[in-house]
């Protein structure tokens, strides 16, 4: 490796590292944020390589470590990685499907220094939850894991991805999440990248359903004020302003894939013009500060109109690059979720047609086999 170049003053320090430890997962959720092309176990970084990544991240100023996947507990060395994160004073958050995590495993992870647990749920109704996860019995295992977390007094967030096939049950889902002991509940409408984009026509809720979901969350916030914190992520197909995806490209988050590729966001590899460096070839600090991929859409210099002259350009950073590419064909275009985008009207029509279709397509479950047949719509 060559010596890293210094970090230019214009480059902010990263806050969070999303470590995709593996793409292996026992569940098959059709909105998974992983790319359609899943990385194989044989290409995964070794324990020593991940520990080196954690060291580099801590040296770079990262404070929060999100241990993700796939299913991160599929890695047998997870306790070692958690212990090293604790040693480097990284706040560790385990993002898990909850499938296959025993009481003893969670106790071992907690003893290693795990700070926080996040379990995703598919519904409060076990039958629909298992149908969406694609695996019978998954729901019951999540309930059991939440119980283990309560017994260990481990901070717990319940993440509930919301879409057309569970949104009408949102009030019950929130009650269920609270009953599991969550002190933070994320009601996150599915974002349509990767598997979610491939399944958009089956998952996109109607505008009316989104409006109702906002109302349900507002009532829950009032009911549980001071007890439970609620995060709400809207599906931006009905928005007028785009979200500042990842808080802005290359502004705070580093995503490392199982094989060590370093990405500005989990979906960045959908932008074929970009080249992504690996921690096996280049220091993390140098990738963050100086790599082509991180600098491609960092700041505002890359922007075209209408973003370039927009008063909100340093608030939403032009929205989402991956979405701009997927829906307009150019990652440097304004995110079409923005009302100023020339493509915005088409998106509104598309959302109306897909969300109200009488005969939506069957779900494409996230499996290595189905990846070949999954095609993302382009508009
Ligand atoms: Fe890549 Fe939004 S998902 S920039």
| Structure confidence by residue, pLDDT tens digits, 308-348 | 999 999 999 999 999 999 999 999 999 999 999 999 999 99
Asked if 200 contacts 377 with a C-beta cutoff of 8 angstroms, the reply is: yes
Q: Ligand 1 mean position to 324 CA, how many Å?
A: 9
- Closest-CA residue, ligand 1 atom 1, reads 322
Residue 103 Cα, ligand 1 centroid: separation in angstroms?
35
Q: What are the DSSP calls for 75-125, one per residue? A: -TTHHHHHHHHHHTTPEEEEEE--TT--HHHHHHHHHHT--EEEEE-S-SS
CA of 201 to the centre of ligand 1 (A): 20
How far, in Å, is the centroid of ligand 1 from the Cα of 259? 20
In this structure, the residue with its CA closest to atom 2 of ligand 1 is 320
Cβ atoms of residues 174 and 187 within 8 Å: yes
Average pLDDT, the chain: 94
pLDDT digit string, tens, across residues 165-208: 999 999 999 999 999 999 999 999 999 988 999 999 999 999 99
Separation of 268 CA from ligand 1 center, angstroms? 6
Q: What is the pLDDT of residues 19-66, one digit of tens each?
A: 999 999 999 999 999 999 899 999 999 999 999 999 999 999 999 999
Give the CA radius of gyration of the chain: 20
Ranking 80-84, 215-219, 239-243 by mean pLDDT, the lowest is 239-243
Residue 292 CA to residue 138 CA, distance in Å, equals 41
Cα 369 to Cα 191: distance, rounded to the nearest angstrom:
23
- For residue 297, the ligand 1 atom closest to its alpha carbon is 4
Model pLDDT, residue 323: 95
Name the one residue in this structure whose structure tokens are 């074929």.
Answer: 272
Best substitution site from 244, 245, 250, 316 to test ligand 1's pocket, by max atoms within 8 Å of Cβ?
Answer: 245
Looking at the CA of residue 191, tell me the nearest atom of ligand 1: 3
C-alpha distances in angstroms, 179 versus 90, 95, 183, 189?
29, 19, 10, 21
- Kindly list the protein residues whose Cβ atom lies closer than 6 A to any atom of ligand 1: 193, 245-246, 249, 265, 267-268, 320-323
Per-residue pLDDT tens digits for 77-118 = 999 999 999 999 999 999 999 998 999 999 999 999 999 999
Torsion sign (Cα): 18, 22, 25, 31: positive
CA–centroid distance, 182 to ligand 1, in Å, is 28
Read off the pTM: 0.94
DSSP state string for 60-71: HT--EEEEESS-
Distances, alpha carbon 24 to alpha carbons 39, 72, 256, 258, 364, in Å: 8, 8, 15, 10, 17
pLDDT of residue 8: 78
């Amino acid at each position: 490796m060559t010596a890293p170049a210094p970090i230019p003053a214009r480059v902010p320090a990263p806050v969070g590292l999303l470590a995709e430890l593996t793409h292996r997962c026992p569940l098959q959720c059709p909105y998974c944020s992983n790319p359609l092309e899943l990385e194989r176990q044989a290409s995964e970084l070794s324990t020593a390589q991940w520990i080196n990544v954690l060291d580099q991240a801590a040296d770079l100023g990262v404070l929060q470590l999100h241990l993700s996947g796939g299913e991160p507990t599929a890695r047998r060395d997870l306790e070692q990685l958690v212990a090293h994160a604790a040693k480097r004073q990284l706040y560790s958050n385990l993002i898990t499907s909850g499938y296959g995590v025993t009481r003893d495993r969670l106790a071992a992870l907690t003893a290693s220094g795990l700070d926080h647990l996040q379990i995703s749920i598919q519904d409060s109704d076990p039958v629909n939850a298992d149908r969406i996860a694609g695996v019978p019995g998954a729901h019951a295992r999540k309930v059991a894991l939440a119980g283990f977390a309560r017994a260990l007094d481990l901070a717990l967030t319940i993440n509930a991805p919301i879409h057309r096939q569970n949104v009408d049950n949102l009030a019950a889902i929130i009650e269920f999440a609270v009953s599991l002991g969550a002190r933070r509940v994320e009601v996150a409408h599915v974002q349509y990248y990767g598997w979610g984009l491939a399944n958009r026509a089956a998952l996109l809720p109607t505008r009316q359903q989104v409006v109702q979901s906002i109302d349900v969350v507002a009532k829950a916030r009032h009911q549980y004020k001071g007890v439970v914190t609620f995060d709400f992520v809207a599906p931006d197909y009905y928005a007028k302003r785009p979200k500042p995806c990842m808080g802005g490209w290359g502004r705070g988050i580093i995503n490392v894939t199982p094989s060590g590729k370093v990405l500005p966001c989990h979906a960045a590899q959908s932008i074929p013009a970009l080249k992504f460096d690996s921690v096996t070839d280049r220091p993390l600090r140098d990738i963050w500060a100086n790599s082509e991929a991180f600098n491609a859409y960092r700041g505002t210099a890359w922007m075209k109109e209408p973003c370039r002259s927009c008063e909100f350009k340093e608030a939403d950073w032009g929205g989402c690059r991956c979405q701009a590419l997927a829906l307009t064909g150019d990652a440097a275009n304004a995110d079409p979720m923005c009302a100023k985008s020339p493509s915005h009207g088409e998106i509104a029509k598309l959302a109306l047609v897909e969300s109200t279709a009488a005969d939506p397509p069957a779900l494409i479950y996230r499996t290595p086999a189905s990846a070949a047949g999954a095609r993302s719509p382009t508009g």
